[in-house]
Amino acid sequence: SCVTGVQTCALPILKMKVLLISACFIAAVAATAEDSYSRILFAKFQAEHSKEYKSKAEHSYRLSVFAENVKMINEHNKAGHSYQKGINQFTDLTDAEFKAQYLGGYKRLPTPAAPSTESKRAIKDLPASVDWREKGAITDVKNQGQCGSCWAFATTEVIESYAAIASGDLPVLSSQQVTSCTPNPLSCGGTGGCMGSIPQLGYTYIQLFGHSTEEDYPYVSGQSMATEDCLYDVDNTSPAIGITGYDTMSNDQAATMDHLANVGPLAVAVDAGSWSSYRGGVFTGCSFDQNIGLNHAVQLVGYGTDATEGDYWLVRNSWGSSWGEGGYIKLQRQAEAQCGVNSTPMDGTACVGGPGTDEQYVCGQCGDRKSVV
């Protein structure tokens, strides 16, 4: 009876061991499957974005960063936000690397914007939506690459748009000329070129010397990651486009909408620090309670209303067409623009030795209300 008892008592223990082993086996299989899926996804990502790494150690590190970013993207999309995140060319970068490599190329003058001299219509009298792409005034989305030349792209894009509005012909102009040739002797917001500058200097340079086409002066700084020498021959070059000047606008939502509806697109300053994984929808990811550090220049090409997510500003970026909604982002447009503070103007808005180095008042989602024409 004792032997029988031992056999009877041992049976549940054996079952428990089998169950424990099975559970561990299932967990191991699940982990292996997840790891395999990440590797497959990473290989697809590498092929789509032509990513090459110098060593096995770097490949392994980028895979781990990629997997963590994909995890955060999936968690965000499951949470039901008004905008979605997705895999793009930045998914193998940490947040700090993304900000260091792709932001900081926009530096804004700290002086207050002058009041607009345009007549301002009430918002209720303006069109419900505006999209300058539909009017043939916006060139294809461009890619600044690993050069902080967003300010030069915003300058070029705005000049292209106003040339099209004035003449009916849409030119594709040289961002490289603005990047390489615009002087910045006072280090206003940076040292120029890939190290950051301001559209005002870009407009002033083009006003003096004229603007070449992209075909005559192609963009190379995105690959070289260098400002490059200025190759524009003032004496022997006939510019494609010239401008007579530029203007600035204040933080006035109605005036901005009026300008978009009746005049044309704008260049705007934004805090794009949380834009790296944006895929689509109306973006609400910038907090007005935190520092709104302006670090990027983009082109505001219109506004509209999403049936589900509400009003938005339509913004063209310079990170290529594979990012966001074909290279565009919709920023939340509030009925009354909320405002916040840029408490780090020396990181991206103030001039060395100039005023406005303490803080700056900015309005709109991600500070998108500071506009330059």
Catalytic residues, by residue number, are 150, 296, 317
Q: Looking at this protein, which amino acid is placed at residue 85?
A: K
CA 125 centroid distance within chain: 31
CA dihedral 82, 87, 90, 96 (to 10 degrees): 60
Q: Helix, strand or coil for residue 109?
A: coil
Rounded CA gap, 293 and 104, in Å?
9
CB 336 within 8 A of CB 119: no
Rounded CA gap, 296 and 163, in Å?
24
CB 212 within 8 A of CB 122: no
Could you tell me the CA-to-CA distances from 50 to 86, 88, 134, 353 in Å, in that order? 18, 12, 32, 42
Rounded CA gap, 77 and 45, in Å?
19
